[in-house]
C-alpha cells in the first residue's frame, strides 16, 4: 500500500529510471570537461582494450574509463603516479549507479600545461578577430614566386621543392632559413618573414609557406607564439601554414590564410592550378561553391537528425561495454577455477597411474626381493655358522673317542678273524693282526700266559 506522501508525489522512479535520468543530466551538463590529477590505480583489460583507472588529487578521487576506440591513438600507456590532464564527460554506470568520468582525450601534465596556455592564447586572439575568415587573404591561383620559411638543413624544404618542380616547374622558390624549434625560433621566424617581405618589394613574392615537420607539442611550441601570430595577421603576402602533421594544430595554423596538413600538401595547394586556365578554375570554384553550399545545407539538416539518433544510441553503448567487461571478468574467474580443478584432477590421475606403472611395481618388487635375499643370506650364514660350530664340537668329541686317537697314544688293537681278542678263544699257533697308528702287523701266537 502507498502511504499518503507517496500518493501525492508527482512521480515515483524505478532505480533504473533514476540512474538513467541522473546519467542524462550529468552528461548534458558536464559534456566537455578538462580535469587534472594523478593516476592512483590503473587496469588495462587486454581482452577488450579498455582502460579503467582512478584520478586523484590531495583531497578527492574519481573513477575513470577510457574505451579502446579512444585510447588506441595514444603512443604510451599511462602508469600509476603519472600526472595527466583528461578531457571527457561525466557519466553514470546505470547497472551499479556508479559515478565516473568517460575519458575522450589524455595528455600528460607537462603537455597539459602547454595545452592550457595554447587555449588561453587561442581564446584571446580569437576574441580580437585574428582568426576571422573575413580578414584572411585569398591564396593566389597561380603563384609564380613562392617564399618558404623553414630550416635549410631539414627534409621539409626538399619535399616542397620536389613537389613544386613536378607540378609547377615555372614557379620560383626563395628560402628564408630559420630555426623551427627552440628558444631562438620565434625571433628567427619573424626575421625570415620580414626578409621575404623586404625582398618582395623588388621581386614580388606571391605566396609564403611556413613549414615544419611533425613533433611533440613542445617541439612545435614556437609556432604558438603571440608575436608570430600578430606578424602573420599583419602580413601583406598570403601565407599557408604547414606546421607538423595533419593532427597537429598551432596558433600559426589558425591565423594564417590557409592551413595545410603537411609541408608537401602546402606545395600541392600552391601548385594545383598551374596546369589549368585561370578563368575555368574561377568558374568551377563558383559552381562548386554553390553546389557544396546547397549540398552541405541539406546534409547538415540530415546530420542533425542523425546526431539525435546517435545520441540515443550512444546513451546505451557505454553501459553495454561496462556490462560486457564485468561479465568477461566473471568468465575469466570461472575459467581459472575450472582450470585449477582440472589441474588437481590431472595430478591425482597422474599419481594413480604412476603407482600402477609396471616398471615402478617391478622396481618395488625387485627392491623387496633384494631385501629378502639379504635377510635369507644373513639367516643362512648365521645358521651355517652355528651348524659349523656344532659340527666342530661333535668332530672334536668323535675324534676323542676314536680308536685312532687311542692308537695315537701308543696303544694297539689286536684282532683274530676281524674280531677283538676278548671275544675269541685263543690257542697257540693262531694268527692275529695287531694294528698300530701307522702299521698292521700279522703275528703267530707261540705261547699264552694266563693272568
List pLDDT tens digits, range 145-157: 999 999 998 889 9
**pTM > 0.75: yes or no:** no
In a domain, 346, yes or no: no
163, three cell numbers: 613537389
Q: Let me know: does 173 contact 144? Beta carbons within 8 Å.
A: no
Residue 227, C-alpha cell as written in the block: 608575436
Report the CATH number at residue 146.
3.40.50.261
Q: Average pLDDT of 393-401?
A: 77
- Name 194's bridge partners: none
Helix (H, G, I), strand (E, B) or coil at 377: helix
Percent of the chain having pLDDT more than 90? 26
Residue 46 has pLDDT above 60, yes or no: yes
Cα 214 from chain centroid?
28
Structural domain includes residue 164? yes
Confidence at residue 278, expressed as pLDDT on a 0 to 100 scale: 44
- Bigger pLDDT: 110 vs 263: 263
Residue 149: which H helix or E strand, with range?
A: strand 145-150
d(CA 168, CA 5): 82
Question: Which residue carries 623551427 as its cell?
Answer: 180
Residues 181 and 233 in one domain: yes
Share of the chain above pLDDT 70, in %: 90
* Order of strands across the sheet that contains 413-416: 419-420, 413-416, 431-435, 440-444
Residue from 65, 101, 54, 87 nearest 326 by CA: 65
- In the numeric block, which cell numbers belong to residue 76? 604510451
Domain boundary among 99, 115, 131: 115
> What average pLDDT score do residues 50-61 get?
92
Per residue in 298-309, pLDDT (tens digit) is: 778 787 777 777
Are residues 19 and 111 located together in one domain of the fold? yes
Residue 8 has a pLDDT of: 58
Range of the domain at 414: 406-444
Position of cell 575568415? 133
Q: What is the mean pLDDT of residues 361-372?
A: 82
pLDDT, average across residues 300-326: 75
**Domain total for the chain?**
3
Q: How confident is the model at residue 113 (pLDDT cuts 50, 70, 90)?
A: low
Answer with the one of 258, 275, 292 that is the final residue of a domain. 275
**How far is 62 from 91, CA to CA, in rounded Å?**
11
The tens digit of pLDDT for each residue in 62-90 reads 999 999 888 887 767 888 888 888 999 89
Amino acid at each position: 500500500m502507498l502511504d499518503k506522501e507517496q500518493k501525492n508525489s508527482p512521480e515515483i522512479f524505478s532505480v533504473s529510471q533514476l540512474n538513467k535520468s541522473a546519467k542524462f543530466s550529468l552528461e548534458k551538463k558536464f559534456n566537455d570537461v578538462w580535469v587534472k590529477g594523478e593516476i592512483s590505480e590503473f587496469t588495462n583489460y587486454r581482452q577488450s582494450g579498455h582502460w579503467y583507472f582512478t584520478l586523484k588529487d590531495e583531497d578527492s578521487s574519481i573513477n575513470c574509463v577510457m574505451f579502446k576506440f579512444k585510447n588506441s591513438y595514444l603512443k604510451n600507456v599511462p602508469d600509476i603516479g603519472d600526472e595527466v590532464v583528461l578531457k571527457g564527460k561525466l557519466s553514470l554506470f546505470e547497472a551499479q549507479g556508479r559515478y565516473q568520468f568517460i575519458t575522450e582525450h589524455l595528455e600528460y601534465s607537462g603537455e597539459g600545461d602547454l595545452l592550457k596556455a595554447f587555449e588561453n592564447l587561442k581564446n584571446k586572439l580569437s576574441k580580437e578577430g585574428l582568426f576571422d575568415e573575413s580578414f584572411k587573404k585569398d591564396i593566389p591561383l597561380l603563384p609564380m614566386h613562392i617564399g618558404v620559411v623553414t630550416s635549410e638543413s631539414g627534409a621539409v624544404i626538399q619535399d616542397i621543392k620536389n613537389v613544386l618542380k613536378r607540378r609547377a616547374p615555372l614557379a620560383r622558390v626563395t628560402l628564408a632559413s630559420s630555426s623551427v624549434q627552440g628558444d631562438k625560433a620565434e625571433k628567427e621566424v619573424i626575421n625570415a618573414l620580414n626578409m621575404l617581405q623586404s625582398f618582395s618589394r623588388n621581386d614580388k613574392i606571391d605566396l609564403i609557406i611556413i613549414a615544419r615537420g611533425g613533433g611533440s607539442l613542445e617541439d612545435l611550441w614556437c609556432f604558438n607564439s603571440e608575436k608570430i601570430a600578430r606578424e602573420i595577421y599583419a602580413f601583406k603576402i598570403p601565407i599557408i601554414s604547414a606546421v607538423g602533421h595533419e593532427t597537429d594544430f598551432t596558433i600559426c595554423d589558425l591565423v594564417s590564410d590557409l592551413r595545410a596538413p603537411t609541408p608537401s600538401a602546402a606545395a600541392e595547394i600552391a601548385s594545383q592550378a598551374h596546369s589549368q586556365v585561370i578563368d575555368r578554375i574561377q568558374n568551377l570554384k563558383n559552381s562548386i561553391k554553390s553546389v557544396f553550399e546547397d549540398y552541405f545545407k541539406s546534409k547538415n539538416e540530415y546530420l542533425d537528425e542523425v546526431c539525435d539518433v546517435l545520441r540515443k544510441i550512444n546513451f546505451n553503448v557505454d553501459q553495454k561495454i561496462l556490462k560486457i567487461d564485468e561479465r568477461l571478468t566473471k568468465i575469466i574467474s570461472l575459467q581459472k577455477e575450472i582450470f585449477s580443478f582440472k589441474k588437481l584432477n590431472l595430478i591425482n590421475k597422474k599419481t594413480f597411474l604412476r603407482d600402477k606403472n609396471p616398471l615402478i611395481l617391478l622396481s618395488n618388487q625387485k627392491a623387496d626381493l633384494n631385501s629378502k635375499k639379504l635377510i635369507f643370506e644373513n639367516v643362512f650364514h648365521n645358521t651355517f655358522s652355528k651348524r659349523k660350530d656344532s659340527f666342530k664340537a661333535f668332530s672334536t668329541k668323535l675324534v676323542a673317542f676314536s680308536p685312532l686317537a687311542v692308537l695315537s697314544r701308543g696303544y694297539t688293537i689286536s684282532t683274530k678273524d676281524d674280531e677283538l681278542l676278548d671275544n675269541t678263544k685263543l690257542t697257540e699257533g693262531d694268527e692275529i693282526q695287531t694294528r698300530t697308528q701307522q702299521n698292521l702287523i700279522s703275528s703267530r701266537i707261540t705261547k699264552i700266559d694266563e693272568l
